[in-house]
Structure 1
């Protein structure tokens, strides 16, 4: 199991809610108030300068073709793409993740891969056609998983046939994810050197004291001198 933290503080591009096509996205948003994402949302959010990006995924999935379009857009993007699965990437959500240079998962996040499905109806010719289409779609999805992991396509066809649920450890072991995120606490720093909580508290106290001095009608010079000495003491006490 590999654990890594976030390297930089970048504004992420969000893949949240249902994945759908550009034409239907406004309908879901305006009529049902649903959270959805479409290819246009991602393409419009990509930086024009090719700078590195983070893509956060929390999605139950949706339509295969829009997810594949987003995956391809991320693959073709000139900068480095890091996908962070912050909660879940189910079904079509996993397809988008395959477009990243690196896939990270939160410790409690999950993936789910399964066979494609449709609401086909009609005569037996229609059913045969739908079956062929779904099998082709399954193979296309498995090809994306195989390209990411280097494992055989058939391995993923078998897993999809089981409707496989994966926690972060499983996903990393299988190769669908690269790292498990480590939620390390952020340390306040100036010039790369750490500042203790005690020092931060002193600064806060000094700010309050400074306000009192400014508001005082007859502040004595000695008070200001004491304030300067107190500021210096923050750094002198840092090693204690």
Structure 2
């Protein structure tokens, strides 16, 4: 809940920075990846960037700010000295997006635990708001109209379904072991391999924003490259030796 408390102003950013800098480098990078996910769930948009940079206190010329201006979220891969600036910036972006989200979708109350944290909140101008009154008798909360943030597991499931480079790359190689007619295999496997290469590139770019697995993208790209190389090599071989049979 630390990140939600920072985004909602329950804890000051300076306290959050102190907590962040007390983590190991690996944990700090993991926190940045989590923040990227939270920003996506809160429906951050490119129009939030100027306000986020201003809130974060970092300069627009700093590397994380330049990346965010280009809507790139690979801050977790930056050098260690850039991690704190990235943390300040992503917390600010999360705060801007989540504030808008709470006003639009959860203004009448919702069941999101992270939207019902105890403690004072900051208003739009940074002034602390009084803490919420003690809870009364339990009453059912209205359902939140925004279902996007409430289902992280389903979103991860969608990501896994979208990571198809491995499957296309594997299929481009399996053909060679399942069919003895290699000329036909070449024509069949080559499209799978090319699609796998394209998907691997798309998924690798998405992995830099935390929306896909970079390792699966690289594996899929490697398999697809092998399949494409085998198909093209055999077609070139047939073109140079037309007198040979086309079977394996």
Normalising by structure 1, we get a TM-score of 0.24
More helix by share: 2
More strand by share: 1
Normalising by structure 2, we get a TM-score of 0.24
Which has the greater radius of gyration? Answer: 1
